[in-house]
Structure formats: structure tokens, C-alpha cells
Chains A and B, each alone.
Chain A
Amino acid sequence: MIPSIRQPRAFRIAYRAYVALFFLYLALPLTVVAVFAFNNSQFPSLPWKGFTLEWFFGDSRPMIGVFHERPILRALGNSGFIAVFVSALSVVVGTTNAFLFNRYEFRFKGLFYVLMLLPLVIPGIVLGISILVFSSTVANGVWDGIGYDIEALRPGLTLVILGQFSFITTIVTLVIAARLQKFDRTLEEAALNLGANRMTAVRTVTIPYLAPALIGGFVVAFLMSFENFNTTLMLVGSDAPLTIAMFDRLKEGSTPLLNAVSLLLMLGSTTLALVMVLFQRKS
């Protein structure tokens, strides 16, 4: 089984073949999506009609490429906007959470810790509808009370940001808390001995130590926000992010334009993920 235990040759070969097959299974769907982005045809399917870059750069019908397709570009902008807000918010709250659970003993700490983990085991669609229901209860209450309509509490960008933030924060908290746990607190005490006050000690010693986790948490949050579907679906308004816009198109039928967008997404997220992995390997 492990290298030091001899196994029959046939078993070893079969095992390796299985692992190879597994990776083929992983790679296949992504490969076809990427390849058909270059097919000179209206449909992302065989027959292969030759190589083209029109689905990226084309500017006239019927082949309008990604870079000239306004709705897609706008959706990409929305996704970026949402993702930046969600990541920033969840890194801030994730950091305060990590410090709270690491540094303080308080009543019901265990209960709060379980509550903090809970968003991970609530289905995304249920998170979405509960926030939708609550925000419209509040909005309707305010409307009935003072006759003012709080636009931000109706489906749209704000609610999408809040919805994604509600569960991504848990993940970011775990990422940051894991690193904070390994921090040697005597370093902070040394700073205090050298005359720094607590705030300065945290700012100049602890935060730099946490930096890789803060950046890692930001990137993870960014990617999760960018590809989130379930929660977003329930909270989306007229300005749809990319996944929702692509979903709507896919329902109507697909052109290689979607392949081209997908390929760009793959390149973007893989680059981001690899950079993060290398960055964390180094530190």
C-alpha cells in the first residue's frame, strides 16, 4: 500500500491507472470549455470549424467577442465591485473575531464559537432567503412608519454583498485564527516591555505577523464571492454579477462567447490562487 509495503505489480498499475483516470475526470470539463472558446462556429460543440479569436476580440454580429460585449463587461464590473467589498468587510470582521476568540475569555464563548461556525452548515439558498425576508420586513416597516423607502434593503448590490459576507466571514475568521494561534505572545510582551502601548504592539508586531493570513483570507474571500451562486441568486436585483448573467444566458442557449468568458475566469482565478499558494509557501 505505502511504498515500503510491497504490493503485486498488477495492483500498483491498476491503482496508478485509477488515479490517472481521476485526474482526467477533473480536467475534462474545463478543457473542453477552454478549447471550444476558439471554435469558429455559433455553437460550442463539434464539428470543429477552425481556429478563431473572434469570441474574444470580434466586434460585429454574429460574433461579438467578450471585450465588446457590454452586458458581460458590466456584469464583470459588478462582480469585481461586490467581491472587493465582501473581501474587505470579511477580513476586518474576521480579524476582530480571531482576536476575540484568541485573547478573551467570556461567558458563552463556546456557544458563540459554534454560532460563528454555523453559516458553514446553512445551505446558501436558505441564507439568501432569510436575509431577503428580513431585509424586506425592515424596509416595509420603515415604509409603513415614516414613508421612506430604503432602496438598499431591496434586492440589489447591497443585499448581495451582505448575503455573501454573512458566510464568507466564517471562512476568513478560520484562516486568520489559525495563524494567530501560532503567534508567540512573548513577542508582543517584548514590545510592551520596550515601552510600546498595547495598540502599537499589536500594530507593529502582531499585524505584520498576520499579514500572510490577512492576504490569504482576502484572496479566498474574493474568489468565493466571485463564484458564489446560490446566495446571490436569491438577493440579486437588476445589476447582476457575472455568474448570474452567465446563468441567464446559458438557459437561453450557449455560444462560444460563454466559453471565452469562462476561459478568462479560469485564467484569472487560477493565477490568483497560485500566487496565493506561492506567497504562503514563502512565508
Chain B
Amino acid sequence: MRAGAKLGFFLLFAPLVLWLGLLIVIPHIDMFLVSIRERIGVAEYQTSLANYLTFFTEPLYLVTFLRTAMMSILATALTLVIGFPVSFYIAKIAKGRLQSALFLLTLVPFYVSELVRTFGWMILLRETGLFSTLLQWLGLADQPVEMLYNDVAMMVGLVYTSMLFMVVPLITTMESLDDSVIEAGYDLGGSGFSVMREIIIPHAMPGIVSGSIIVFMLSLGNYLTPTMLGGKDSLWFTELIYSQFIVRFNWELGAAFGFMLLFLSSLIVWGTLKLTGQTLEKTMG
């Protein structure tokens, strides 16, 4: 039996190691090695930090990087602010059938591909689109209005695309908050605001953290929405990675960009977890 248990362990351990090793760990090490080499001739390379130097000295790259980070943080904050009241409504106010119906309704749009969602916003916002026509019909505009290809359109798309990943963790954590705790808060003389700040938000914290992390990650790594809805000035960092890899075929620089993106996202995820005293196992698993 002892030997059997050992064999069983290795049979279960092997897939995990193969998967993580061959598809996650080694590829990232290899990508790092590519990012620290510099091409000096045909198929000749030397180790150097030239690619990272290029990243830090070329304003376009650095500015795009920082801008992407700031915009992703903004998108996360907006998603939280917009989604929180709705999650509270579904978790604590709606009851029975209405509750499950509303919950399902928030899920359904997200089983549809992101491409379709983005396409929907293009139809709504473009010059010949629905909103533009509506504004003209109402007499608020006398010619077609182009609402696509700017930061606001991109933000609308980003928030829309990641809403589910905020709302679901929020609902799950808030559902476990007992009504009587809220009532007790009021009985003890709390106002709506202080109950919200001292009871509901602390209780929902794990949900807020995991929702924010996922939404931030999704926004930072998004390619489709900034490309389709954003304008010329809304260049996203992932677009730079894509163009280095696929268009210019400069894998060394592209790999360095990839690492910077990974570094930034890990830093922010780690920072958020530390600040709020959560762990990855608790928020994700």
C-alpha cells in the first residue's frame, strides 16, 4: 500500500509539474533570457540590458506604459463604484426569484465573446451609430457626432467588459453578511453612511480585493477594446507588445515589454494584497 500511495502521488504530481513547468515557468524564464540579449549581427547575440534601456529612454514607450497603468486603475475604480450598489441590491435587497433572475442576467452578457461586446459598442457609438442618430433626432446635434475612437469610449468598453468579474465576487461576499448585523448597526444609532463604512465595506473587503485585482489585470492586459474603441492617442501597452512581436519582428524588445507588463501587474497585485492583508490563496482559490 505504501508503494501504491507513492506511485499514485507521482501519477498525480506529474501532470501538474509538466503543465506548470513547460507552459508557465520555463517559457517565462526563456522570455526573460530573450529580453536581456542584444542582436549584434546575423544570429549573433550578446547579453545586455539594451532593451530595457530602450524602454526607459524612449518617451513613447514609457509614457504609454504609465498611461496604460493609470487608465487601468481608473477603469478598476469605475467598475467598483458602478458595480457596488448593484451587487448590494442583488445580494441583500432583491429576494427569491428576482434575486436569481438578476444574478443570471448579470452573467449572461459575459458568456458572449468580448469581440461581440466591443462590436456592440461600435454600433452604438460610431458616427452613423445609434446614439448619434438619436441625438440628431432629439435636436441636440445638427450633424453626425463621432463618439468612437477616444478615451471615454475606451473606458466605457473596458468597464463593460470587466463588470462581471467585479460583481460576482461582490455578490458572493455580501450574501454572507447577515441582515441582523446591519440592523444592529442601525439600532446602535448608526447612519446609513456609517453602517456602509463600518459594517458593509469591511465585510465585503475580500470581494472588493479579488474583484479589483481581476478587473485590473483584465484591463491592463486588454488588447481588443483599446484597439477597436480607443483613438490614436489611446495607445495601449499591449498594442506595443503586439507590434514588436508580430509587425516588427523585434522579439528582444517585445519580450522586454512583456516583462515590464508582467512586473507591473505583479507589483500591483502584490501591493493590493499586502495593503489589504489578503493572500492570493484566499482571494482566488
Contacts and interface: CB of A to CB of B under 8 A. Distances in A.
Interface of A: 1-5, 7, 15, 18-19, 22-23, 25-33, 36, 43-46, 92-93, 96-97, 99-100, 103-104, 106, 110, 112-127, 129-135, 137, 162-163, 165-166, 169, 174, 177, 198, 223, 226-227, 229-230, 233-234, 243, 246-247, 250, 254, 258-259, 262, 265-266, 269-270, 272-274, 277
B222 interface: yes
Contact of B30 (A121, A133, A234): A133
B67 interface: no
Interface string B21-37: 00111111011001000
A133 B116 CA distance: 30
A123 B265 contact: yes
Contacts of A229: 113-115, 223-224
A130 B112 contact: no
A174 B217 contact: no
Interface string B100-131: 00101111110111111101111110101110
Given A46-B128, A119-B24, A137 B114 contact: no
B245 A126 contact: no
Contacts of B89: 15, 19
Contact of B117 (A29, A93, A126, A163): A29
A135 B28 CA distance: 11
Minimum-distance CB pairs A-B, first 7:
A29-B120, A123-B221, A227-B113, A134-B27, A130-B27, A166-B23, A100-B12
B115 A246 contact: yes
B34 A133 contact: yes
23 contacts: A2-B183, A25-B160, A26-B105, A26-B160, A26-B163, A27-B109, A29-B124, A33-B119, A45-B128, A92-B15, A96-B11, A112-B20, A113-B285, A123-B265, A126-B241, A130-B27, A135-B27, A169-B19, A230-B221, A230-B224, A243-B114, A246-B115, A273-B107
B254 interface: yes
A19 B85 contact: yes
A83 B51 CA distance: 36
B120 A30 contact: yes
A30 B23 contact: no
Nearest to A102: B12
Given A126-B258, A254-B122, A121 B223 contact: no
A113 B16 CA distance: 10
B262 interface: yes
Q: Interface size class for chain B?
A: 35 or more
A122 B220 CA distance: 10
Given A26-B163, A123-B265, A124-B221, A129 B245 contact: yes
Interface in B240-285: 241-242, 245-246, 251, 254-255, 258, 261-262, 265-266, 269, 280-281, 284-285
Contacts of A46: 128-130, 133
Nearest to B266: A121
Contacts of B217: 120-121, 123
Contacts of B12: 96-97, 99-100, 103-104
Interface of B: 4, 8-9, 11-13, 15-16, 19-20, 23-28, 30-31, 34, 82, 85-86, 88-89, 92-93, 95, 102, 104-109, 111-117, 119-124, 126, 128-130, 133, 160, 163, 179, 182-183, 186, 192, 195-196, 213-214, 217, 220-224, 228, 238, 241-242, 245-246, 251, 254-255, 258, 261-262, 265-266, 269, 280-281, 284-285
Contacts of A130: 27-28, 30-31, 258
Contact of A258 (B119, B179, B220, B223): B119
B17 to A, nearest CB: 9
Given A22-B82, A277-B104, A97 B16 contact: yes
Given A18-B85, A30-B120, 17 more contacts: A26-B163, A30-B116, A33-B120, A103-B12, A112-B20, A115-B24, A119-B24, A120-B217, A121-B213, A123-B262, A125-B242, A129-B241, A129-B255, A227-B114, A230-B223, A254-B119, A273-B111
A123 B261 contact: yes
A250 B228 contact: yes
B163 A114 contact: no
B24 A223 contact: no
B31 A129 contact: yes
Contacts of A165: 19, 23
Contacts of B220: 123
A103 B12 CA distance: 10
B124 A270 contact: no
A233 B113 contact: no
B105 A23 contact: yes
Contact of A19 (B24, B30, B86): B86
A250 B115 contact: yes
Contact of A117 (B34, B108, B281): B281
Contacts of B255: 129, 133
Nearest to B85: A18
B230 to A, nearest CB: 14
Contacts of A123: 217, 220-221, 238, 261-262, 265
A125 B241 contact: yes
Most central of B19, B92, B224 by chain A CB within 10 Å? B19
